[in-house]
Amino acid sequence: MSAIDWIGLGIIALVIIGGLLLLNQITKPYDVKDEEEFQRRKQLGARTAGLMGLQQILDPAAKKSVEVQQDLRRGIYDDEEEPDDPPEAGAR
């Protein structure tokens, strides 16, 4: 093998190792270190909630999707048929 082959293999190995290290850093849980940081993140959550409310006003489908997600989290499954639902199996 020539020197160019070794350089190419080295670059490929560095890219693979760098990608693995990046994935390792991304998947670590976020650690809140002090009260100030906790409050800052809490404010960001409030802003996000405000933007979600605005989106629900502007887009009724977003409001419906949020309601459905909340119902599913609570374990409420709507058994009523909606007009756009496909027919039940075995129904005529």
Per residue in 60-89, pLDDT (tens digit) is 787 777 778 777 777 766 656 555 566 666
Q: What is the phi/psi pair of residue 36, to 5°?
A: -65, -45
In a domain, 59, yes or no: yes
The pLDDT value given to residue 14: 97
Q: Which domain covers residue 43, as residue numbers?
A: 37-78
Instruction: Let me know if residue 92 belongs to a domain.
Output: no
Is 74 part of any domain? yes
The count of structural domains within the chain is 1
Q: Is residue 64 part of a domain?
A: yes
State how far the Cα of 32 lies from the Cα of 24, in Å rounded to an integer: 19
Give per-residue pLDDT as tens, 23-49: 998 888 777 677 777 777 777 777 777
Residue 14 lies in a domain: no
Q: Are 52 and 66 in contact (CB under 8 A)?
A: yes
Transcribe 2-31 into DSSP letters: -HHHHHHHHHHHHHHHHHHHHHHHHTSPP-
Q: Report pLDDT for 80.
A: 62
Query: Is there a domain that residue 12 lies in?
Result: no
